[in-house]
Amino acid sequence: MAEAAERRSWWKIALICVVAIEIAGGLSGWVSNSGYGNTWFDGLQKPSFMPPGWTFGVVWPVLYAILGVALSMVLAEPESDRRRFALILFFAQLALNFAWSPIFFAAHDISLAKWVIFMMAALAAAAAGQFLRIKRDAALLMLPYLSWLVFAATLNATIEVLNPGSGTSLLGV
């Protein structure tokens, strides 16, 4: 009986987390005019392994939903210092995730976006490591996201190499 009650509360948390992350992620892309159709981005050289535009419209919502479920699993666990640290890491990487599209697509800072996604991947891996110590399934749910971040970071870095001088620097460098 207690297990059923715990499962219900976990799913209630998941519904909120998934919707919140989906909305925030969607807004990040929308306000920055991300993806194909952005005239600056369309004019950049792309690597041969660049997926078609529709791929991103499928992958990101799925990944955001998975992140919401993973987060809810950890939120449903009892409070502890480890849980608090895991949540700090998770929300730090999520903030970088939501910042990436405006930096890359709106501000045209390819280099800063590359460093942001590298840091995002490192923080997401650290969060997954902490999730593993709290709720194994939550950590396993982070693996597709981590894989995609490595791929996305590779795309970002390759676009930078293929397009020297095409971006602007937000840092004045």
What gap in Å lies between CA 159 and CA 173, rounded to an integer?
18
Query: What total number of domains does the chain contain?
Result: 1
Task: Answer yes or no: is 172 within a domain.
Answer: no
Residue 67's CATH number: 1.20.1260.100
Task: Answer yes or no: is 9 within a domain.
Answer: yes
Task: Answer yes or no: is 170 within a domain.
Answer: no
DSSP class of 123: H
Task: Answer yes or no: is 67 within a domain.
Answer: yes
Task: Answer yes or no: is 96 within a domain.
Answer: yes
Are residues 92 and 34 in contact, defined by beta-carbon separation less than 8 angstroms?
no
Report in angstroms the alpha-carbon separations of 85 from 25, 79, 96, 133: 23, 11, 17, 11
What gap in Å lies between CA 19 and CA 61, rounded to an integer?
10
Task: Answer yes or no: is 28 within a domain.
Answer: yes
Task: Answer yes or no: is 168 within a domain.
Answer: no
pLDDT by residue, tens only, the chain of 173 residues: 455 555 457 788 999 999 999 999 999 999 998 989 999 999 999 999 999 999 999 999 999 999 999 999 999 999 999 999 999 999 999 999 999 999 999 999 999 999 999 999 999 999 999 999 999 999 999 999 999 999 999 999 999 999 998 988 887 66
pTM for the model = 0.91
Range of 155's domain?
2-162
Task: Answer yes or no: is 169 within a domain.
Answer: no
